Amino acid sequence: ANLSLWGGRFSGGPADALTELSRSTHFDWRLAQYDVAGSRAHARVLHRAGLLSEAELDGMIAALDRLSADVASGEFAPQPQDEDVHTALERGLIDRAGPDLGGKLRAGRSRNDQIATLVRMYLRDQALRIAGGVLDVVEALCEQAAAHPEAAMPGRTHLQHAQPVLLGHHLLAHAWPLLRDVDRLRDWDARAALSPYGSGALAGSSLGLDPAVVAEELGFDGPVPNSIDGTAARDVVVEFGFVTAMIAVDLSRISEEIILWATKEFGFVTLDDAFSTGSSIMPQKKNPDVAELARGKAGRLIGDLTGLLATLKGLPLAYNRDLQEDKEPVFDACDTLEVLLPAVAGMVATLTFHPERMAELAPQGFSLATDIAEWLVREGVPFREAHEVAGECVRQCEAQGKELHELTDSELASISPALSPQVREVLTVSGSLASRDAVGGTAPVRVAEQLEQARTELERW
């Protein structure tokens, strides 16, 4: 018997090589329950259109319910000859409902509109799950910020000491991009919330089936406005791939810093034993593998996104079989984040910070030079000149191997008459931090407000 969905026109079955190439059940089977849900909704619109009697509808729904239970228990699984999830489930339905009734369900739908719909359903659920995992990382960052309200650290640009900042300010600077990622997922969902079901192969259905009814039953806001677009477009899938890649990139940036902070040279953090690994040869080693895997897997998600874009480039409308390649990249992104997010959240939550070490380094590298310049500006010195004067302070310190606060009163005065001993007020880390008290700045009062703001964002979800 020809087990495919298109026996009539063909004199023989497909070549083994085609079957092997064509098969997608090893990755699309995860859509099986969404496919069954789509089938229930489709059966109902067939009934509304007078194409299934009341009894046939009842029989169809009962068979689909049994099929769904058998899929869930593993009792029903795809066989090697099943091309894809749709083919396998049609076989399962016909086994349960008989060929006469089971064979009626395919009317007015195509695998092209089915698959476009199922991917959206699956990714919408995944988006919620991923958002939850991202928020756990944000929460861990907020907890660490809250636990260290006073700790200062060297803020860096170009990885060089720049100006002292509060540790909490820095940690929250990692929380905000992640909150925007969650926002992106929510925003993406508005575009994913339109159902392609009813688009048929590309031109829509002639059988009087209402796509709006199916859309509503499947939890969508409505049907897509164009059946060609509904079956051919994958921008929604690509956009999901972008947001997940962005999440991974954001995690990689936190991770890179944790890797640096955990080095002997920095000594800013100690990783918890539960979130670090040892070496098979060097007994002393404690390695930041979670952070390194996060950094590495970001590359993988970028690959998923670019692979997907490459698949779509130049593809004519409407459905082309190339589109079957849309699923593995985003499934990989989902699976990767599913294991990555809890590990990163746990690693961040269990970090032990060493505030003394960070405080010791915070003023080093002449990171208070800007404070001298800005103090001079408050004394009426033009910034251009103030910058020169502060630069001269740095030059002299560098020559003598000392820090800015170690310049004597006479050294200060000889650099510029405007440099009275009062300048020392800003030559401390706490003075510098407190002075940056505009909205968004690193002053402890502002960071405390910012933490509340981030927590309010967390509550919103």
CB of 111 to ligand ARG, least distance (A): 4
Q: Does 199 bind ligand ARG (CB under 6 A)?
A: no
CB of 19 to ligand ARG, least distance (A): 13
Q: Which residues have a catalytic role annotated?
A: 158, 279
Phi, psi of 434 (to 5 degrees): -60, -30
Q: Does 324 bind ligand ARG (CB under 6 A)?
A: yes
Q: How many residues bind ligand ARG (CB under 6 A)?
A: 10
CB of 321 to ligand ARG, least distance (A): 6
Report the residue number, 28 or 250, with the smaller CB distance to ligand ARG: 28
Q: Does 311 bind ligand ARG (CB under 6 A)?
A: no
Report the residue number, 22 or 435, with the smaller CB distance to ligand ARG: 22
Q: Does 244 bind ligand ARG (CB under 6 A)?
A: no
Q: Does 236 bind ligand ARG (CB under 6 A)?
A: no
Cβ–Cβ under 8 Å, residues 374 and 423: no
Q: Which of 188, 266, 319, 366 binds ligand ARG (CB under 6 A)?
A: 319
**What does the per-residue mask of binding to ligand ARG show for 66-85, with x meaning CB under 6 A?**
------------------x-
CB of 122 to ligand ARG, least distance (A): 12
Report the residue number, 270 or 320, with the smaller CB distance to ligand ARG: 320
Burial readout 382-418 (b: 16 or more C-beta within 10 A, e: otherwise): eeeebbbbbeebeebbeeeeeebeebeeeebeebbeb
CA gap 416, 420 in Å, rounded: 9
Q: Does 112 bind ligand ARG (CB under 6 A)?
A: yes
Q: Which of 42, 44, 109, 111 binds ligand ARG (CB under 6 A)?
A: 111
CB of 118 to ligand ARG, least distance (A): 9
Cβ–Cβ under 8 Å, residues 431 and 152: no
Q: Does 64 bind ligand ARG (CB under 6 A)?
A: no
Which residues make up the interface to ligand ARG (CB under 6 A)? 24, 28, 84, 111-112, 115, 319, 321, 323-324
